[in-house]
Structure 1
Amino acid sequence: MARPIVATIHSDALRHNLSIIRQVASESQIWSVVKANGYGHGLERIWQSLRDTDGFALLNLEEAILLREKGWKKPILLLEGFFSPEELETLDRYRLTTCVHSNWQIQALAQATLSAPLDIYLKVNSGMNRLGFQPEQVNNAWHKLRNSDNVGEITLMSHFACAEEPEGIQEPLRRIELAAKDIVSSWSLANSAATLWHPHSRRDWVRPGIILYGASPSGRWQDIASTGLRPAMSLQSEIIGIQNLRSGETVGYGRRYQTSREQRIGIVACGYADGYPRHAPTGTPVYVDGVRTCTVGAISMDMLAIDLTPCPEVHIGTRVELWGNNIRIDDIAQAAGTVGYELMCALAPRVPVVVAN
């Protein structure tokens, strides 16, 4: 018998979430962000559920080529651009849109031999200080690109560091507008948080990522509870063992949990080698037999322990939801001191994945 853990990808949730974003940003086109193998959901598994998008945004050439070879004909945006001049031949062959954030990329484009011009997203540094041109450099970069025969349409793009905060885009947007004051072009600024909570940032193209998968850009699912967004991934397993403990006994490595009374403990086939966060503390929520309970003790490589006090009728083989519709991935992440993005991307290859329509 196979180990009972399984991750389910909910295609209906992906389609639904895209439709919600379409309603929210009704005057914008949508780049569906599917980087990191579709945020851990599996690009090959999910792309057709998102085929009503206007374009896909990602990082790796391999993922872009996969989409083209699967039949995707609409735009694909490389969010970090190309990493060497030699890659421009591939961008040309597969007709990819590329971010440009450095002068060497502008020079490489000018010197390349292409079959047709490439569309460009010119990256403006909004103050996040990862990639992009400083506001005072943007106009010069724009004109260099505009004067190149290898460059087609140019769109200004940027990113926000704190768009989940009420005033989080005010200063970055001021920097972007300063950079673009003498430039006429399309704009792409809004990530998931800005798309939801800063309507004036949506402009021509929005770039939703985490909300496509039904988690919150703030890390608090309550912040998106009213949107109707649904989790696109659930992780479930089963109880494979039960221990009836006396008061004063301990559970797990390091004896981090000690019972204060007689207590029934369930052992679940899921651990950090499956992608569950090792640092999730006692009290991290789980859902068993229609009841919300919690973990106790340290998370092991292959197992974790849960408190069965609220659900005395459960038995070996009872299903356990680690995250999904009843336990939001944001709650697990918050308990473990991380974000839902990381848990999605950390799903281990050994976990079987099924796709539900």
Structure 2
Amino acid sequence: MWPQRVTATVDLSALRHNLQRVREYAPASRVMGALKADAYGHGMVAVARALDDGLDAYAVACLEEAEAIRAAGCRTPCVLLEGPLHPQEIETIAARGEPVVLHADWQLQALRTLRCATPLPVWIKLDTGMNRLGFRPDQARRLAQAVSANPALKLLGWMTHLANADAAESAGTQAQLTRFFAATDGLPGARTIANSAGLMAYPQARVDWVRPGIMLYGASPLEGHTASQDGLLPTMRVESRLIAMRDVPAGEAVGYGSEWVCAEPTRVGVIAMGYGDGYPRHARSGTPVQVRGQTVALIGRVSMDMITVDLRNCPQAQVGDTAVLWGGGLPVESVAEHAGTIAYDLFCGLTNRVHYHYESET
């Protein structure tokens, strides 16, 4: 079998370490781990199996994701964060018994005629300032009454989502917390507020449940931080290889658009990964890549299948050498910053040309 062109190696022991960090931040909270979007590009089934005995619930976006986790034999409840997406889904969701998040009146209306042997567990989402999904906070008491009046429903609790928790001491976040606590004061059910940034930066958001996502996958959710600063371990290492080298004279350009011009004679390396594999096309010259453990710089435009790098400070490089695009000693946060994006985008953007491998100490 020939070598694989681009690989993503996922360290499941690092994943479990990061879950332990969640528990250290919020020891009194139950944990709903975000496995939506194929576990942020890490492989939903593999991650679900690795964490099935460590999480109290999985958070997924839709019924299809929950069904894939169930088919893999995992028994941890799957919370459908967007609730039923269409009235036609309701009977199937009720038959599965998966907890759902309700965020709109049409969902409540569609559930009025639900008939099921066991009440469907529901979370109610309040929009405290994200202005995306959720009921107005002043509707909380009406909603509690509507759910309690429907014998087909069982209220689990109340949810909101923080818009600016990645910024420390955000006035907007403080306002959201105040609105949420005021709206749910005295109402039955559990509370859940904190995503990764919220549970790390805002102790008052560590309530009955927390909902970590990106920190499970070994990237910091906080502005200007890297995983190592927050005691997290990178879970994904993306690698390819150096497939060509050439010496380019001073004054010659490299790549599409001839945007990067050699100021002096330059040894240029070609690495077999491009936007067709999920490397960000908008990554700018200077984005770090590692060859033989040495940090080198991306130069020129990203192509569909290749990138080019400046090898002047890695004279020992040879065709066939491993190139690390992120992970290991190359923080994904640094690559994301140079590409004008976030770690979530890099993780989720890997395409089906990338081969996944899973490592674990157990």
Question: Which TM-score applies when normalising by structure 1?
Answer: 0.97
Q: Secondary structure at the match of 2:295?
A: strand
Q: Any conservation in 2 of the 1:239–1:320 contact (CA below 8 Å)?
A: yes
Structure 1 stretches of 5 or more lacking a match?
Answer: none
Partner in structure 2 of residue 11 of structure 1: 12
Match of 1:280 in 2: 283
Distance in 1 (alpha carbons) for counterparts of 2:323 and 2:113? 57
Q: How does 1:30-41 map to 2 (within 5 A)?
A: 30-41=31-42
C-alpha distance in 1 between matches for 2:47 and 2:156 = 29
Would you say 1:172 and 2:192 are equivalent positions?
no
Q: Give the Cα separation in 1 of the matches to 2:93 and 2:142.
A: 24
Q: Is the 8 A contact 2:4 2:355 kept in 1?
A: no
Counterparts of 1:166 and 1:221 in 2: how far apart (Å)? 11
1:42 aligns with 2:43: yes
Deviations 1:146-200 (A, max 9, x none): 1110111331000000011222320001111221134132101100001111111
Residue 143 of structure 1 corresponds to 145
CA contact (8 A) 1:219 1:330 kept: no
Deviation at 1:66, TM superposition (A): 1.8
For structure 1, which segment, 28-37 or 63-72, has the greater mean C-alpha deviation from structure 2 after superposition? 63-72
Task: Please give the alpha-carbon distance, in whole angstroms, between the structure 2 residues aligned to 1:330 and 1:165.
Answer: 16
Deviation at 1:329, TM superposition (A): 1.4
CA–CA separation in structure 2 for the residues paired with 1:69 and 1:209: 22
What is the CA-CA distance between 1:305 and the residue it aligns to? 0.6
Question: 1:350 offset after TM fit, Å?
Answer: 1.0
- The equivalent residue for 1:133 is 135
- In 2, distance between residues paired with 1:180 and 1:113? 28
Question: Partner residue of 2:121?
Answer: 119
1:258 aligns with 2:261: yes
- Cα root mean square deviation, aligned: 1.3
Aligned amino acid, residue 35 of structure 1: K
Deviation for aligned residue 1:85: 2.3
Which of 182, 185, 188 does residue 189 from structure 2 map onto?
185
Letter of the aligned partner of 1:172 in structure 2?
Q
The amino acid across from 1:124 in the alignment is L
Gaps of 5+ in 2: none
Take 2:17 and 2:215, find their aligned partners in 1: how far apart are those partners?
A: 11
2:347 equivalent in structure 1: 344
Shift of 1:73: 2.2
1:105 matched to 2:90? The reply is: no
Please give the per-residue CA displacement for 1:232-282, whole angstroms capped at 9, x wherever unaligned.
111101100001111111100011111111111110000010000001111
Structure 2 Cα separation of the partners of residues 292 and 272 of structure 1: 21
Q: Does 1:81 align with 2:78?
A: no
**Corresponding residue to 2:237 among 216, 234, 239:** 234
Residue matched to 1:305: 308
Structure 2 counterpart SS, 1:17: helix
Question: For 2:186 and 2:200, how far apart are their aligned partners in 1?
Answer: 28
Where 2:229 maps in the other structure, the secondary structure is coil
Question: What's the counterpart of residue 153 of structure 1?
Answer: 155
Deviates more, 1:275-284 or 1:287-296: 287-296
Specify which of 208, 212, 217 is matched with residue 208 of structure 1.
Answer: 212
* AA at the equivalent of 1:174: T
Q: Is the 8 A contact 2:123 2:158 kept in 1?
A: yes
Distance 2:28 2:120 in 1: 25
Q: Kindly state the Cα deviation for residue 2 of structure 1 after the two structures are TM-superposed.
A: 4.4
Q: Which amino acid aligns with 1:143?
A: Q
TM-score by length of 2: 0.95
* Deviation string, structure 1 residues 65-121 (Cα, Å, up to 9, x no partner): 122232222321000101122212222222100000111111222211112101111
Amino acid at match of 1:200: Q
| Superposed CA offset, 1:309-331 (max 9, x none) | 11101100011100002111111
**1:284 alignment partner AA:** T
Equivalent residues of 2:242, 2:271 under 8 A apart: yes
Alpha carbons 1:75, 1:96 under 8 Å: kept: yes
Superposition map of 1:323-342 within 5 A: 323-342=326-345
> 2-side partners of 1:49 and 1:40: how far apart?
15
2:32 partner amino acid:
W
Aligned twin of 2:26: 25
| Greater mean alpha carbon deviation, residues 88-97 or residues 283-292 | 88-97
Contact 2:6 2:353 in 1 (8 A): no
The Cα offsets for residues 189-243 of structure 1, whole Å up to 9 and x where unpaired, read as 1000011111111100000001110112135443x43332111111101100001
In structure 2, what residue type is equivalent to 1:194?
G
CA contact (8 A) 1:274 1:350 kept: yes
Q: Secondary structure of 1:48's match?
A: helix
Secondary structure of the 2:48 match is: helix
Alignment check: 8 A CA contact 2:250 2:265 kept: yes
